[in-house]
Amino acid sequence: MNAPVTNRSWGRAIVAFIQASGIHRVFLSPGARSSPVVAALADSGMEYVSHYDERGMAFAALGCALASGEPSVCLTTSGSAVANLLPACVEASQSHVPVIFLTADRPSELRGTGANQTIQQPGIFGGYVRFAVDLPSPEEVTGIDELLEPLREAFKTAIGKCPGPVHVNLQFREPLLGADSPIPELRGLTDHKSSIDEVQLPVDWHSFISAKRGVVVVGRLDASSQREVGSIVALAKGLGWPVIADALSGARHLPGVVRHADWILRRNDVPKPERVLQFGGSLVSKVLGEWISTSCGGVDWVQVSPAGEVWDPWGRNPTRVCAAVSPFCLSVGKTAVPQSKSFWSEAWQQADGAVGNLLAEHLHSNPGLTEPDIARLVGRYANVVFLGNSMPVRDFDSSDFLEREGFRLVFGNRGASGIDGNIATISGIARGCGSPVLALLGDLAVLHDMNSLHLLRGLPVTIVVVNNDGGGIFRFLPLSVGDSQRELLWETPHGMDFEKGASQFGISYSRISCANELEMHLKVGSTWPRLLECRTNRAENYALHQEIASRVLALGGVPS
């Protein structure tokens, strides 16, 4: 006869299952309704990260999963606490990051009655979760296996062929911490990742690589794939095709990689590619995406991704291959490839070098602290870097031009490309990779997530914040509005700095006045959290970008 299931035994079973699955850390926000799981977590000795802000807590869990490649678990109480998880859930879904959301809830009979802290939690994440289940209160089941099987299914789905977030809603009746009962020995998940070793090519590979002008594009890659980018470069060298690497590819530091395609392609005389072999997901450069999509599609554009990502904003229906980077390169690399088209690759590298020299000369001659120069210095000294959205990731994409030895991981929340939760995500990355993190953020992103500075305590995180007093990216958008309207309604100047905010959270602070001063700070590194504030001017930054663009245009395009 099965022992009765209680809140306590169910909570202990959940924690035991998490441990048995090899997950070492739980992210949680305090609350009464989740007490059965929290109490079991405290008794287990398992590591946990507690944060008072559910939104920040969820982004921290996301960051940890991004860096570690393992699923993260985050736990909340009931009510609006659950609604605060949605932004991180959206980002996890769009970026294929496995996050398990465990949400405590009142029993189902209280829904719709006006009961305190009771909302409709089942279905709250809509289509942004891969799996969702609303589990009954423990006393309603005949045995704990009735609850464990859906939990096991949720975990398996989160790390499956299309990884992403899942939602397990946990109903608990009062008393929340009543009698205990024994739980059976539990078997967790040992297969954390689905392995994709067999590569199936839906195109004629010999025909595909026979094109005169092909290009290898490396888009956003996860941490595991970034460790394999060397095989992409080797494959491209055999093909005689240039490699264009996105800011979030982890490949930009490798020799022979094109880093300035966004600048080069501002010319309209650059030959169109006949074939595109793309690894990973989305691209920061809209110019690069348009250049690809205006000439290639269908069997001429092959996208390789272990998660089967869909990236086709232009409706070109590229051919998708679900495969990890190394197995794909190993498989197709066995096929004889032509060696006679290297002039096309060399022409790209020459153009890239010319733009790099222009940038170096132009930025070096500028006595002030410019946003491209800030991005360049971050690229020089970061081994693990996080790039905020809007201008920081774009400046890194166009200005990071230095080859460097060693391995570099690059992260950014580009699934939904929001400025929310960036600091919290950085804290999770630092925990997930166990290495110092250097982050480049805009002022609005920092203001949006100031609460999460608390999560940085004790972590070797350096945040370089570009404070241009508003949303500088709106200068670059074709808005048919007057300057005063754009200033008030789009650029949203705030007039604040971050010294007192950093002090409130115990974060070391420095105001940076020039590029040499920033370089001095970045050279030293840090074992504690610090914030380096760089003040810039939106109008001057826009003028600088326009001037660089005009000088790049004068260099000429890529020979055909």
> Structural domains in the chain?
7-171 (3.40.50.970), 205-343 (3.40.50.1220), 371-535 (3.40.50.970)
Q: What is the pLDDT of residues 70-98, one digit of tens each?
A: 999 999 999 999 999 999 999 999 999 99
pLDDT at res. 368: 80
Average pLDDT over residues 394-406: 81
pLDDT > 80? residue 455: yes
Name the residue among 10, 12, 38 with its Cα closest to residue 140: 10
List strand residue ranges (DSSP E) for 331-414, in order.
Answer: 384-387, 409-411
CA quadruple 157, 159, 163, 164: dihedral positive or negative? positive
- Say what percent of the chain tops pLDDT 70: 94
Contact 536, 513 (CB under 8 A): no
Q: How far apart are CA 95 and CA 91, in angstroms?
A: 6
**Residue 560's pLDDT is what?**
66
Residue range 262-283, pLDDT digits in tens: 999 988 789 999 999 999 999 9
- pLDDT of 336 above 90: no
Rounded to whole angstroms, the Cα distance separating 449 from 62 reads: 15
**What local confidence, expressed as pLDDT, does residue 553 receive?**
87
Band of the pLDDT at 1, cuts 50, 70, 90? very low
Q: Residue 342 — pLDDT band, cuts 50, 70, 90?
A: confident
Q: State the Cα–Cα distance between residues 110 and 179, nearest whole angstrom.
A: 23
Q: Is 221's pLDDT higher than 80?
A: yes
Q: Which residue has the higher pLDDT, 555 or 517?
A: 517
The secondary structure element, H or E, covering residue 199 is none
Q: Is the predicted pLDDT of residue 182 greater than 90, yes or no? A: no
- Give the pLDDT mean for 126-131: 98
Q: In this predicted structure, what is the pLDDT of residue 360?
A: 87
Token pair 């982004």 is found at 59
State pTM to two decimals: 0.95
Does the pLDDT value for residue 220 go beyond 60? yes
- Which residue would you say has higher pLDDT here, 106 or 405? 106
User: Out of 101-110, 412-421, 490-499, which region has the weakest mean confidence (pLDDT)?
Assistant: 490-499
Instruction: Please name every residue paired with 168 in a beta bridge, in sequence order, or none if there are none.
Output: 102, 133
The stretch 399-409 carries a mean pLDDT of 76
Q: What is the pLDDT of residue 471?
A: 87
Residue 191: per-residue pLDDT = 53
- Please give the helix or strand (H or E) that residue 353 lies within, else none: helix 342-365
Stretch 464-468: mean pLDDT: 97
The per-residue pLDDT of the chain, averaged, comes to 91
Q: Which of 51-55, 188-192, 544-548 has the highest mean pLDDT?
A: 51-55
Q: Is the pLDDT at 466 greater than 90, yes or no?
A: yes
Would the pLDDT of 470 be above 60? Answer: yes
pLDDT at 419 over 80: yes
| Residue 47, beta-bridge partner list | 25
Q: Answer with the residue of higher pLDDT: 255 or 465.
A: 465
Looking at residue 474, what is its pLDDT?
A: 81
- As to burial, measured by CB atoms within 10 angstroms (0-12 exposed, 13-18 middle, 19+ buried), residue 559 is middle
Most confident residue range from 95-99, 376-380, 489-493, 548-552: 95-99
Residue 525 has pLDDT above 60, yes or no: yes
Q: What is the pLDDT of residues 294-323, one digit of tens each?
A: 999 999 999 999 887 789 999 999 999 999
Distance in angstroms (rounded) separating the CA atoms of residues 73 and 44: 15
Burial-class residue 199 by CB neighbours within 10 Å (0-12, 13-18, 19+): middle
* Rounded (5°) CA angle 264-270-272: 120
**Average pLDDT of the segment spanning 285-295:** 95
Average pLDDT over residues 360-365: 81
Q: What is the pLDDT of residues 379-390, one digit of tens each?
A: 999 899 999 999
